[in-house]
Amino acid sequence: MLRAPAGPARERWLDSVRAALPPGTPWRRLPPGIGDDGLLGGLDLAATLAAGRPVARAGLLAEADGGIVVVPMAERLPPGTASRLAAALDTGTVSDRGARFGLILLDEGVADETVAEALADRLAFRLDLSGLGLADTAAAEPEPAPGAPEPDPVGSLCALAEAFGIASLRGPILAARVARALAGDGPIGQGAIVAAGRLVLAPRATRLPAPEQPAPETAEAPAEPPEPNDAEEASGPAAEAPDDVVLEAVRAAIPPNLLDQLLAGAQRLPAAKAGRVGQAASARTGRPVGSRRGDPRRGRLDLLATLRAAAPWQAIRRVEGETRRIVVRRDDLRIRILKQRTETTTVFCVDASGSAALERLAEAKGAVELLLAEAYVRRDRVALVAFRGTGADLVLPPTRSLTRAKRGLSGLPGGGGTPLAAGIDAAVAVALGVRRGGSRPAIVLLTDGRANVARSGEGGRARAGAEALQAARALRAAGLPALVVDTGTRGDEARSVADAMGARYLKLPRAEAGQLSAAVRAAL
């Protein structure tokens, strides 16, 4: 996956890749708005009309067998097309034809546009040429991969993936393939492990490895080891830690904007239901995403799709006495499906209770201010819900006003209990109101997940935790996209809430406001 705007740097990179391929290797560029017949194969319209019988033709993926498929504007790829590309990568076949190809996704999107995760996760490399000029593209020869043979290369790569918070198994699998290719016919050495980690795992990192805790310097006898908590007992034995040299080498390869790329392969927000403004089909304007049967007076006629629908019936219609060369009837008419894009409203639900450290609350305030400034440019909106004590408050209704946002944020107090269920309920209510108004809502929950106040305002961790999970499941049932930012320093309570929501989970050790803002931009 290559993130770069159109320009000479990107074209030079593509030319270099093409020059490295054997002569005659297929090289296909995916046209925007391509249909299933063009992608997977379908009816050859001209041959069918000439022969009077259906004649099939190969699709673009079958034509690219043994070569490369380049996808411009991959961040705008329709979900259906992305899933078909992913299936072809998995099976190597399309419509009973061979289709083994390399895939290059050209990500040209802004911060709120990302490539489908199902597709990005299947690609080994993620490159970013943003900000590079033509003079910066001179490539040096790759360094060899020296080092002693690694006794367990797969285990080392899996340990690296775990250390950097990579949940998908495709990360270490692809890294193992890269290490094998770098090592050639010889044994896989530490150098190949380092190179594979830097190339494949570093861009996928979702967290930095936790620093080792220094041993306390004391002359007295060591204290008894602390008893393991329930979470540690439930997690079982820890995986073997990766080698320090390998870990530091991969850490050094992590891009400076790590959290910018944190959810760069995240799935797009789900489309709104029929009739919603946010993702509703438009009759006259928008981006083409296919065609359907319909009346051209109520939409734009798709001429090619209409002719394809009519072609198989020509022989029968001529027998019925028709003298026209091409007979098109009402049932053959197809109109384009066009999709519009509207604003997004991000509802921040902030834990302002005593369990959230004051510096964390300050970071959340800074992140919302940064996002609001960017939302003003994109014509998007931000809302803020805070929960503490015994309930939740709508601190900031959906707005683009910088002055109003700063006034609400500056007066946000901290301290008290953690009524997590009330906070989630309030965020859902705001998001549903946003959806009814035609905007596309998304919820960002910033909490450590340690609920201790029930909806009734009474204390009690067990009841409060159960109600929080119940509220999280209600959010999921409402079909609202969400991101949970774990602001705690220990425990997995926030992850449990994210799982119940069906939300993306983000752990931010020692996060700063700028990093948090970047992560949320990339996710939403």
Between 320 and 510, residue with greater pLDDT: 320
Which pLDDT score is estimated for 103?
93
Q: Give residue-wise pLDDT tens across range 207-216.
A: 777 655 554 5
Query: Can you tell me the distance from the alpha carbon of 446 to that of 469, in angstroms, rounded to the nearest whole number?
Result: 15
pLDDT over 70 (residue 519): no
| Residue 274 is assigned to a structural domain of this protein | no
379 phi and psi angles, rounded to 5 deg: 65, 30
**Is 25 inside a domain boundary?**
yes
Highest mean pLDDT among 142-156, 157-171, 355-369: 157-171
Which CATH number characterizes residue 36's domain? 3.40.50.300
* For range 445-463, the mean pLDDT: 88
Q: What is the mean pLDDT of residues 465-483?
A: 92
- 198 and 285 together in one domain: no
Which has more pLDDT, 114 or 202?
Answer: 202
Residues near 513 by Cβ (< 8 Å), separated by ≥ 6?
362, 363, 364, 365, 366, 367, 369, 370
Helix and strand totals (H; E) in the chain:
19, 18
Residue predicted with more confidence, 73 or 249: 73
> What's the pLDDT band for 260 if we cut at 50, 70, 90?
very low
Instruction: Say if residue 516 is in the same domain as residue 368.
Output: yes
Q: What is the pLDDT of residue 235?
A: 37
What pTM was computed for the model?
0.49
Q: Does 224 reside within a domain?
A: no
Answer yes or no: do 490 and 359 share one domain: yes
What would the two tokens of residue 409 be?
């944020």
Tens-digit pLDDT profile for residues 359-383: 566 666 666 666 666 665 666 788 8
Helices 358-378 and 513-523 sit at what angle, rounded to 10 degrees? 50
Q: What's the CA gap between 131 and 73, in Å, rounded?
A: 18
Residue 484 lies in a domain: yes
Whether the predicted pLDDT of 268 surpasses 50: no
Looking only at the bridges linking them, the beta strands covering 440-447 and 482-486 are parallel
pLDDT score of 271 more than 60? no
For residue 244, the model assigns a pLDDT of: 61
What is the tens place of the pLDDT at every residue in 392-438?
A: 988 888 887 766 666 776 777 777 888 999 999 999 999 999 888 87
Instruction: Identify the residue with better confidence: 514 or 57.
Output: 57
164 against 259, higher pLDDT:
164
Regarding whether 294 and 201 lie in a shared domain, the answer is no
Q: In whole angstroms, give the CA distance from residue 434 to residue 430.
A: 6
pLDDT at 227: 47
Same domain, residue pair 6 and 115: yes
| 367, 296: one domain | no
Asked if 444 and 507 sit in the same domain, the reply is yes
| pLDDT reported for residue 405 | 66
Q: Is the pLDDT of residue 326 over 50?
A: yes
How many Cβ atoms sit within 10 Å of the Cβ of residue 214? 6
- Summarised one tens digit per residue, pLDDT across range 92-136 is 888 778 889 999 999 886 544 678 888 888 998 988 887 676 666
Asked if the structure places residue 227 within a domain, the reply is no
Range of the domain at 294: 281-339
Domains in the chain, number: 4
Cα(372)–Cα(461) distance, integer angstroms: 34
Which one-letter DSSP state was computed for residue 2?
A: E
Percent of the chain scoring above 70 in pLDDT? 69
Residue type (1 letter), 254: I
Judged by DSSP in three states, 42 sits in strand
Is residue 225 assigned to a domain? no
CA dihedral 132, 137, 138, 141 (to 10 degrees): 110
User: Which has the minimum average pLDDT: 122-131, 339-348, 466-475, 497-506?
Assistant: 339-348
Q: What confidence score (pLDDT) does residue 277 get?
A: 35
Residue 39 has what pLDDT?
Answer: 87
Q: Which has the minimum average pLDDT: 115-124, 221-230, 270-279?
A: 270-279
Query: Who has greater pLDDT, 453 or 149?
Result: 453
Report the chain's mean pLDDT, rounded to a whole number: 76
What is the structure's pLDDT at 424? 95
Q: What is the pLDDT of residue 503?
A: 87
Query: Quick one: 249 and 302 in the same domain?
Result: no
CATH number for the domain including 403? 3.40.50.410
CA 248 to chain CA centroid, Å, is 26
408 and 506 in a single domain? The answer is: yes
The Cα–Cα gap between 166 and 384 comes to 30
The pLDDT, as a whole number, for residue 254 is 58
Least confident among 176-180, 241-245, 255-259, 410-414: 255-259
Comparison of pLDDT for 85 and 112, the residue scoring more: 85
- Whole-number Å distance between alpha carbons of 120 and 3: 12
